Amino acid sequence: MDGITDQISDHSSFESDAAGLPDQRRAGAWRVGAAGVALAVLAAFTYLGIFHHREARAVAPPAALPLVTVSKPLQRAVDTRLGFLGQFSAIDRIELRAQVGGTLTEIHFKDGQIVHKGDLLFVIDPRPYEIKLAQANAQLQTAKARVAFASNQLTRAQSLRRNEFATQETVDQRTSDQDASEAAVEDAKARIRDAQLDLEYCRVTAPFTGRIGARQVSIGSLVAGSRAAVSPTTLLATLVSLDPLYLDFDMSESDYLTFARERARVAGPLADGVLIGLSDENSLTREGTLDFVDNSLDRSSGTIHARATVPNHDLFLAPGQFARLSVTVAPPTQAALLPDSAVVLDQSQHLVMTVGRDGTVTPKIVQIGELRGGLRVIKSGLEAGDRVVIDGLVRAIPGTKVAPQDGAIRYDAATDGQG
Q: What is the largest CA-CA distance in the chain?
A: 205
Q: Across residues 154-158, what is the average pLDDT?
A: 71
| Range in 101-115, 268-282, 308-322 the model is least confident about | 268-282
- Specify the fold of 126-201: Helix Hairpins (1.10.287)
Q: Choose from 32-41, 119-128, 142-151 the range with maximum mean pLDDT.
A: 119-128
Residue 325 in this model has a pLDDT that exceeds 80? yes
Give percent above pLDDT 90 in the chain.
Answer: 31
> Domains of the chain: which residue ranges?
2-59, 70-76+334-415, 81-90+243-331, 93-122+212-240, 126-201
Mean pLDDT of all residues in 25-30: 46
Q: Which CATH architecture has domain 70-76+334-415?
A: Beta Barrel (2.40)
Contact 201, 130 (CB under 8 A): no
Q: What is 81-90+243-331's CATH topology?
A: Elongation Factor Tu (Ef-tu); domain 3 (2.40.30)
Cα torsion 88, 91, 97, 98 to 10°: value is -150
The residue ranking higher by pLDDT, 400 or 158, is 400
pLDDT digits (tens, 9 = 90+) for 213-228: 999 999 999 998 887 7
Compute how many other C-beta atoms are within 10 angstroms of the C-beta atom of residue 32: 13
Question: Other C-beta atoms within 10 Å of 411: how many?
Answer: 15
**What whole-number distance in Å separates Cα of residue 112 and Cα of residue 276?**
26
CA-nearest of 295, 396, 352, 324 to 73 is 352
Dist CA 337 CA 375 (whole Å)? 6
247: left (phi over 0), alpha (psi -120 to 50) or beta: beta
CA distances from 311 to 91, 279, 315, 326 (A): 11, 18, 9, 16
Confidence of residue 59 (pLDDT cuts 50, 70, 90): very low
pLDDT at 143: 81
Q: Which residue has the higher pLDDT, 135 or 267?
A: 135
Region 356-383: what's the mean pLDDT? 87
Query: For residue range 287-318, what is the model confidence (pLDDT) as tens digits?
Result: 898 888 898 998 898 899 999 999 999 889 99
**Residue 385 pLDDT greater than 70, yes or no:** yes
The answer on pLDDT for 8 being more than 90 is no
DSSP state of 381: S
Whether residue 208 has pLDDT greater than 60: yes
Lowest mean pLDDT of 44-58, 146-160, 210-224, 271-285, name the range.
Answer: 44-58
Under the banding of pLDDT at 50, 70 and 90, the label for residue 372 is: confident
Q: What 8-state DSSP symbol labels residue 271?
A: P
Q: pLDDT, tens digit, for every residue of 31-56?
A: 545 455 445 545 544 554 544 455 54
| Average pLDDT value for residue range 104-116 | 92
pLDDT at 91: 93
Indicate if the pLDDT at residue 268 is higher than 80.
no
Per-residue model confidence as pLDDT tens digits over 63-87: 688 899 999 998 888 877 888 899 9
What's the average model confidence in pLDDT over 95-101? 90
Report pLDDT for 307: 93
Average pLDDT (173-188) is 78
Strand arrangement of the beta sheet that strand 114-115 belongs to:
93-97, 235-240, 210-212, 114-115
Mean of the per-residue pLDDT values of the chain: 80
The answer to whether the beta carbons of residues 406 and 390 sit under 8 Å apart is no
| Mean pLDDT (whole number) for 143-152 | 78
The pLDDT, as a whole number, for residue 269 is 53
d(CA 250, CA 325): 11
Q: Is the pLDDT of residue 172 over 50?
A: yes
Q: What is the DSSP letter of 298?
A: B
Tell me which of 13-22, 112-121, 213-222 is least confident. Answer: 13-22
- The answer on pLDDT for 102 being more than 80 is yes
Average pLDDT of 99-103? 91
Dihedrals φ, ψ of 12, to 5°? -65, -45
Give the rounded percent of residues in the chain with a pLDDT score beyond 70.
79
Q: Which residue has the higher pLDDT, 49 or 336?
A: 336
